[in-house]
Amino acid sequence: MSVIPALRVSGLRKVYANGVEALRGIDLDVAEGDFFALLGPNGAGKSTLIGIVSSLVNASAGQVEVFGVDIARHREQAMRLIGLVPQEINFNLFEKPLDILVNYAGFYGVPRDEAVRRAHEELERAQLAGKARMMSRTLSGGMKRRLMIARALMTRPKLLILDEPTAGVDIEIRRGMWKLMREINAAGTTVILTTHYLEEAEDLCRHIAIIDRGRIVQHSTMKALLATLDVEAFVFDIDGVLPASLPMLDGVCLTARDPHTLDVEMPRAMDLNGVFAALAAQGIRVRSMRNRTNRLEELFVRLTGKEAA
């Protein structure tokens, strides 16, 4: 059975007029029903990618299909399948939530009666029912964000894309939004979320792609990615020469880099002394050791903001 992905991106490139190469050949598949995280530091190209997928930005090269619909050839049809929640609040603060939702749906050709019905439904889901006729300006930050999600859902999109929906909002608001996003996904909508919070992606998403400087540097399940993060890598300098066959140690991967140097990968939780002892039992004495930096982890340090960019 051939399954049409919710999103298929191939060979996507974007060079802005000022010469910035924002995307350098992106290939990406997102399955229908998935909760997908696109994780990357500022300037990685997340918004550019989302802008192209939602037809707001023109690609320089490559192809995008939304549920099999080519966005270049059938722009309107593709746009109808997508709901976009942009990073910045972009509704009129002097309109009421109900009107914002109804007018938005009207713009997409939803008849007024149906739009009003949907608006009440979405306001309910976003826990904004009591605010339907208040001036939007008076909503709290979290409510404004939920209103943006409600608006995106007015066209009943099959794919909801959220561009850093929780950037800079406090943890309580984030939790509320996570709950809402989970419910939307559970109801059958495919969700793509960009974020630079690792823990957010970890909490919500089944699949993840990491984007850095316009390239996908990792694309896997969240589970597999987390497994790679639990590994610590060292380089051991050995006294003398390594034997031809290295000892077998449960959970530890030993590789001779050269006759005097051993590459060691082991679970972070494991005690190094046990490894030293097992090596010593085979006559291998470790003279000195250093941490081998894990590229992926370096990336994460940057992503999670623990190091200045």
Which ranges of the chain would DSSP assign to H, the alpha helix? Answer: 46-53, 75-81, 97-107, 112-125, 141-153, 171-186, 198-204, 222-229, 272-281, 295-303
Element (H, E) at 69: strand 69-70
Residue 45's nearest CA partner among 71, 14, 67, 69 is 14
Q: How far is the CB of 119 from Mg ion (least distance, A)?
A: 28
Residue 45 or 142 with smaller CB distance to ligand ADP: 45
From the list Mg ion, ligand ADP, none, pick the one residue 140 interacts with, judged by a Cβ distance below 5 to 8 Å according to partner type: none
Q: Is 195 in the site for Mg ion (CB under 5 A)?
A: no
Residue 12 or 150 with smaller CB distance to ligand ADP: 12
Binding residues with Mg ion: total (CB under 5 A)? 2
Residues 24-43 close enough to bind ligand ADP by CB under 6 A: 40, 42-43
Residue 43 or 247 with smaller CB distance to ligand ADP: 43
* Identified binder of Mg ion from the candidate list 14, 23, 37, 47, rule CB under 5 A: 47
From the list ligand ADP, Mg ion, none, pick the one residue 97 interacts with, judged by a Cβ distance below 5 to 8 Å according to partner type: none
Q: Which two tokens stand for residue 134?
A: 């208040």
* Identified binder of ligand ADP from the candidate list 35, 39, 47, 155, rule CB under 6 A: 47
From the list ligand ADP, Mg ion, none, pick the one residue 107 interacts with, judged by a Cβ distance below 5 to 8 Å according to partner type: none
Q: Mark residue 264 as left, alpha or beta (left: phi above 0; alpha: psi -120 to 50; beta: remaining).
A: beta
Residue labelled with tokens 């002394």: 273
Q: How far is the CB of 164 from Mg ion (least distance, A)?
A: 6
Residue 47 or 185 with smaller CB distance to ligand ADP: 47
Tell me how far apart the alpha carbons of residues 81 and 139 are, in angstroms, rounded to a whole number.
28
Residue 122 or 164 with smaller CB distance to Mg ion: 164
Residue 23 or 275 with smaller CB distance to ligand ADP: 23
Residues 55-114 close enough to bind ligand ADP by CB under 6 A: none
Q: How far is the CB of 167 from ligand ADP (least distance, A)?
A: 10
DSSP secondary structure of 85-117 = E-SS--S-TTS-HHHHHHHHHHHTT--HHHHHH
Tell me the C-alpha to C-alpha distance, in Å, between residue 234 and each of 249, 263, 273: 15, 6, 13
Contacts 24+ apart (CB under 8 A), 263-272: 263/233, 263/234, 263/235, 263/292, 264/233, 264/234, 264/235, 264/236, 265/231, 265/232, 265/233, 265/234, 266/231, 266/232, 266/234, 267/230, 267/231, 267/232, 268/230, 268/231, 268/232, 269/230, 272/234
Residues 7-26 close enough to bind ligand ADP by CB under 6 A: 16, 18, 20, 22
* Identified binder of ligand ADP from the candidate list 45, 97, 142, 165, rule CB under 6 A: 45
Name the segment binding Mg ion (CB under 5 A); options: 40-48, 52-60, 75-83, 204-212.
40-48
Residue 25 or 43 with smaller CB distance to ligand ADP: 43
Contacts with Mg ion, residue ranges (CB under 5 A):
46-47
Contacts with ligand ADP, residue ranges (CB under 6 A):
16, 18, 20, 22, 40, 42-48
